Chains A and B, each alone.
Chain A
């Protein structure tokens, strides 16, 4: 009777929360007590069983109906949405020996961590067809496993779940991991000097592709993780890599490797000098800077170190002027030098938000820079979730922006006035000497041709073609366009009118994948979703550049600034976002449907495909190769990590306990975060998630509102109360060791 009365009371003002239900029960109980106190005979009231059941049912039907109607709100309020996933992730990490991360990709070297308390020896086989490898003991029960699929064998023939064997002090246990086999992803295209050929690389399949205007494609296997290529002459292509420390020179006609030269690994891009006598290679590993290589000898001329991570690189008008873009800080640096030794010449050109792509205008006096916003004064845009895709023209000599061209167009094609359906995410740029420009838009699946003298661009939609999320574009000498699609693994030759002439497939088509590998098809669709624009002109890609981070702060509403997190390696770390506001990746689809007014195209199951794509992404690799690691410092770093009690929350082996904390418990000095500070900016909510520290080197800026620019500042300047780890009791040496260990993760 009390239950029925309580639910009826709750129905009067149905607050979907457990406390409200309990409070209603309390009120009901008090009411019943009062009733019995006033009318004691009620306590003696006896009903027959059918009467009692009928009365009970009558009283319960309306409140139960209301309760069911508010069920989903109740689950959300009580954080029970995604509860199963969260508990599963916790149990996976608690069950020692535990291994993290849970995803194994077959295309690149990865580092795994195993937590086996009190173990002396750990060996791991990541799947039935992989070799058993010894893990390196780091202390405190933590072991590191360096895995290279090329040397150690792929985990299994197909994709999906695999059973990894962890042999701990001779005793074997099985742990489930997910194997992901990435398909070919051709990205940016480079034309030959005569524009009769174009080249691109597929990092996932270690392939170089040289394509002609007729669609003839030459595929050559190159080193591990090719990141960029460029024609040195009309017949020779230079290729640089992430995991192979050599520059390869390949014959564009035969595909034979002509020459190799060691330049260093973690090469980001390369550029050919105007004279053709020099290559400049941007390195983003332990050594950050630019390597100059003489052509044709491929002799390394010099290494010019940089304080920032170089991303795009382009020569100016001569061999002695080089422009390098950096994601964080988001700026362009102009380097000047002689004989391949470059130094920063002058102040950087502040962009505010990083260059998505950079193209050199023939002659080198100007560069074209695509970006998601331009803030020359620096600092985040105060607009709520503000993104404004645009192409900037930079005068290299004056080193300033001379033209700002907003590309995201509005038209009446969408259902609501003001919706955006064109010009989102300019990803590929190809500028020609006559002033014409070809642009590939990954957000709106289209290609623009801007011709000199024509006021409006010619728009070629790619919606109906297997060229989703186009990245690279090149205009051949005969007027045909070559477009690349990383998700579809295709290259398409378009005629001058935009019609598809030839399609080069580097990966199986959708139908084949549906039959042979539905998981890969789901990921492909999710990748397309990731790049696709919403009606507000924002895509996931807008901030999470290529599933990484733009390194910028964004206003997430009510002046709450939050740094963009990478979405790589997040599988098994639910819940998501800095404030843990989304229990599953798929739940973020709600954000696109509401705040961003939905995607351009209807796609059933989009939430699930997006989740499949994100969950299949490996974390960013450690910049330290196994041979380069200083094991003694690493072990000292683990000791410092444990001594400072970092492992209390950043627990082994995932370096997170998946927990959420009140801001005041970790950063009492920031507990007044709701008070406006810097220029009216506010920190996010007082709920902070414990992020994984795997790949933390690449995750700057740090902490919940991005206030710490470096890892050192996290443990020193921004831990004044010593609650974010007991770092105050570490010696200077221990801090250095801790930082070394963190950067190696």
Chain B
């Protein structure tokens, strides 16, 4: 989740700023997860909540859509940062972009895990082999695998322990994960197609800002591999 800084461990900000950003990241992750579960709980309760398939569906939907939202925000962070950098070239935007991106990326992976657990446990009811029969479930599972790999390599100490030298090619799979999620949604039984197209259209539009050149002022000073 730390593509632009050159290394997950490469943080140029002073300790106090880094702590602030870490706290922010943790807060985002916790808040998103709690919001997703809370919304699902409230909705299920408002619907009566006595019918298990409905609970399972809303749990799956709630965690799934929040995971998608987090992933989209993570993928939008860099393009948005580049756009903002044109207006505030001297700010310490880069480090904030990195913090946001990592936080939303971690939240996306955790919520995707929750989503998968809900689907496997409550919707598929243990018939996990069914995953192989549905291409949209397979796509979701592959996207989840990518997010988990990215999650693991989002923590600098772990990256160091694993002796990962080339983390950027792995994190670029985030875009593939988004494509797989699009496939997952467009072939799934319940996802509204129009909303899906609107969301991914917006993501694509925001993603175009990535074509803007990275200003030296938002560079963290770490070696860039781009």
Contacts and interface: CB of A to CB of B under 8 A. Distances in A.
B166 A665 contact: no
Contacts of A685: 133
A664 B165 contact: no
Interface stretch (B5-13, B18-26, B38-46, B182-190): B182-190
A665 B124 contact: yes
Given A78-B135, A660-B134, A665 B54 contact: no
B167 to A, nearest CB: 9
Contacts of A40: 165
A639 interface: no
Nearest to A43: B165
Interface string B119-147: 00001111101100111101101100110
Interface string A638-678: 00000001001100000001111111110010010000000
Of the listed residues B134, B166, B192, the one surrounded by the most CB atoms of chain A closer than 10 A to its CB is: B166
Interface in A280-339: none
Contacts of A138: none
Contacts of B166: 2, 29, 32-33, 36, 43
B169 A657 contact: no
Contacts of A668: 125, 127
A83 interface: yes
A662 B53 contact: no
Contacts of A686: 127, 129-130, 133
Interface stretch (A86-94, A129-137, A561-569): A86-94
Interface string B58-100: 0000000000000000000000000000000000000000000
B16 to A, nearest CB: 33
Contacts of B165: 33, 36-37, 40, 43
B149 interface: yes
Interface of A: 2, 17-19, 22, 25-26, 29, 32-33, 36-37, 40, 43, 77-80, 83, 86-87, 90-91, 94-95, 645, 648-649, 657-665, 668, 671, 685-687, 690, 722-723, 726, 729
The 3 residue pairs across chains A and B that have the minimum distance between CB atoms: A659-B189, A664-B127, A662-B130
A77 B186 CA distance: 15
Q: Which of B54, B149, B165 has the most CB of A within 10 A?
A: B165
Interface of B: 50-54, 57, 123-127, 129-130, 133-136, 138-139, 141-142, 145-146, 149, 163-166, 169-170, 173, 176, 180, 183, 186-190, 192-194
Given A2-B169, A18-B142, A79-B136, A726 B51 contact: yes
A729 B50 CA distance: 10
B194 A95 contact: yes
Contacts of A690: 189
B192 A94 contact: yes
Nearest to A77: B135
Nearest to B189: A659
Contacts of A658: 189
A571 to B, nearest CB: 18
28 contacts: A18-B183, A19-B142, A32-B169, A33-B166, A36-B166, A37-B165, A43-B166, A77-B135, A83-B186, A86-B187, A87-B186, A91-B193, A95-B194, A645-B53, A648-B53, A649-B189, A660-B189, A661-B189, A662-B123, A662-B127, A662-B133, A663-B127, A664-B126, A664-B127, A665-B124, A665-B127, A671-B125, A685-B133
Contacts of B54: 645, 648, 726
A24 to B, nearest CB: 12
A77 B50 CA distance: 37
Main secondary structure of the interface of A (DSSP, over half): helix
Given A25-B173, A29-B170, A645-B54, A657 B134 contact: no
Contact of B194 (A32, A77, A91): A91
A687 B50 CA distance: 26
Contacts of B134: 660, 662, 687
A37 B164 CA distance: 8
Contact of B145 (A22, A663, A723, A726): A22
Contacts of A29: 166, 169-170
B40 to A, nearest CB: 16
A660 B186 CA distance: 12
Contact of B183 (A78, A657, A660, A665): A78
Nearest to B127: A664
Contact of A664 (B51, B52, B124, B193): B124
Contact of A18 (B52, B53, B138): B138
B18 to A, nearest CB: 26
Given A25-B173, A43-B165, A645 B51 contact: yes
A540 B187 CA distance: 28
A127 B132 CA distance: 45
Contacts of A19: 138, 141-142
B129 to A, nearest CB: 8
Given A22-B176, A690-B189, 9 more contacts: A18-B139, A18-B183, A22-B142, A78-B183, A91-B193, A660-B134, A662-B124, A665-B124, A687-B130
Contacts of B133: 662, 685-687
A26 B150 CA distance: 11
Contacts of A79: 135-136, 187
A489 B38 CA distance: 64
B185 to A, nearest CB: 11
